[in-house]
Amino acid sequence: MQATTPPPTQTKLLSAVVIVASLGYFVDIYDLILFSIVRVKSLADLGIVDKVAVKTQGEYLLSMQMGGMLLGGILWGVLGDKKGRLSVLFGSILMYSLANLANAYVHSLEQYAWLRLIAGIGLAGELGAGITLVSESLPKERRGLGTMIVATVGVSGAMLGYWVGQRLGWRNAYLVGGALGLALLVLRVSVFESGMFQRTKESGTARGNFLGLFTNGKLLGRYLRCLLIGVPLWFAVGILITFSPEFADALEVRPDVAGQPAVSAGLAVFWCYFGLVFGDFLSGGLSQVLKSRNRALLIFLAFNAVMVWVYLFAMRGATDTAFYAMCFVMGISVGFWALFVTVAAEQFGTNLRATVATTAPNFARGAVVGLVPAFRWAEAHFGRIPGAAYLGGLTILVAIWAVLTLPESFGKDLDYSEPT
């Protein structure tokens, strides 16, 4: 998968690199969010219909998927710096595509759980590799626009996942996701490896030293702060949106049509990710207008804090239509995902960039594994709504501190290596 000729300098915003990374993230998000969309239907088909069991087994399967992403983040990140960005971009797509094809044929909870783990490992690689490749291929003045396009196209995959899951059934939805991923692999012939990576490789610089992030105090501090920026997004998606039916019950949300379920988790995910499309476009564009990644992140974190408060304390007795509108605006407020990954990529040298850009979003996603028990503890001690407010507020405050203490990376020259 290595380029055999010197990689060309990418000057067009809609270059092959940006297009392939965008479509790859589209399929990645489709498959990543699909479980949240088909959770109830798929578990019912496997014979799990009790309301409490659906919630607890759903949490178990979500934790398996996110645990796989933690493992995959390290695996693909290190490979991205050692073997190249393209190896990871397409290797990860192949793995999660095959895993999702197999998901269509599960007949037990344990089969489902192990395949979600494997799919999670595969899903961990695409975004970090794509953002790294785009960041290193475009001029520094335009790379924020490139990553904005990747995110805006990518998150819309969740909406396709909702439509397919509703119209074709959960098994067919997994088949479609796997087929889309395999089809995407044919586009690899049009993409060149990053020139920065090629030069670093030829220089003999040590690359992909994941443990080196933990033995150098400055690198570790920068790395941990990058991770913390993404946690509020996954609190919103992994807790507030994924378990929206449970929150709707606590908030006494009423259906517009009598006799219908008040809130569908799949529809809540759909509206949240529809909002994310606009949020990623706005946050990426705002960082270009302000010429500052950090100021754009702070504005969106403040926006998210307001939306979490509205979701938990201003929606009591609302109609399901108003609740879905809230999910849409919540999605806009956490639409800084690609901006967060771009910041992580820009904070580190070429020999560690893929490692950081791949592990950071997956550790942030994988934070759901810790957020779920933390939420259950807070719920048991304070109640569902206050407990969610305390936990969500904490994630946002910590993320704001992380942004305030990170150096600005807009317009930074990325062609350098880190001492490890």
pLDDT in tens, 331-369: 999 999 888 988 988 898 888 888 888 888 888 877 877
What does the pLDDT look like over 169-212, one tens digit per residue?
889 999 998 898 888 887 765 666 666 666 776 766 667 678 87
The per-residue pLDDT for 277 is 85
**What value does the mean pLDDT of the chain take?**
84
User: Residue 237 forms beta bridges with which residues?
Assistant: none
The per-residue pLDDT for 12 is 67
Mean pLDDT of 132-149: 82
Looking at per-residue confidence, does 85 or 174 come out higher?
174
Q: Which value, in Å, is the radius of gyration of the alpha carbons in the chain? A: 20
In this predicted structure, the answer to whether residue 33 has a pLDDT above a threshold of 70 is yes
Q: Which long-range contacts (CB under 8 A, 24 or more apart) does 47-56 make?
A: 48/109, 55/243, 55/246
- Which residue, 178, 176, 420, 145, is CA-closest to 289? 145
Report the CATH number of the 16-405 domain: 1.20.1250.20
Mean pLDDT of 273-297: 91
- Which residue, 340, 138, 311, is CA-closest to 226? 340
The per-residue pLDDT for 2 is 40
In this predicted structure, the answer to whether residue 4 has a pLDDT above a threshold of 50 is no
Percent of the chain past pLDDT 70, that is, above it, reads 91
The per-residue pLDDT for 189 is 59
Query: Sign (positive/negative) of CA torsion 158, 163, 166, 169?
Result: negative
Looking at per-residue confidence, does 387 or 372 come out higher?
387
d(CA 100, CA 184): 15
Count of CB atoms situated within 10 Å of the CB of 377? 12
Which helix (H) or strand (E) segment is 400 a member of?
Answer: helix 384-405
In this predicted structure, the answer to whether residue 133 has a pLDDT above a threshold of 90 is no
d(CA 14, CA 27): 18
Mean pLDDT of 120-136: 84
Percent of the chain past pLDDT 90, that is, above it, reads 24
The per-residue pLDDT for 11 is 54
In this predicted structure, the answer to whether residue 156 has a pLDDT above a threshold of 90 is no
Every domain of the chain and the residues it spans: 16-405
The per-residue pLDDT for 357 is 85
The per-residue pLDDT for 261 is 65
Query: Can you count the helices (H) and strands (E) in the chain?
Result: 18, 0
Backbone angles phi, psi at 300, to 5 degrees: -75, -35
d(CA 18, CA 144): 11
Band of pLDDT at residue 260, cut at 50, 70 and 90:
low
The per-residue pLDDT for 194 is 63
192, with CB counted inside 10 A (0-12, 13-18, 19+), is buried
User: Would you say 128 and 154 are in contact if contact means Cβ atoms under 8 Å apart?
Assistant: no
Looking at per-residue confidence, does 155 or 111 come out higher?
111
The per-residue pLDDT for 57 is 81
Query: Which two tokens mark 166?
Result: 């509703």
Q: Which of 65-79, 123-137, 195-209, 386-400 is modeled with the greatest confidence?
A: 386-400
Band of pLDDT at residue 80, cut at 50, 70 and 90:
confident
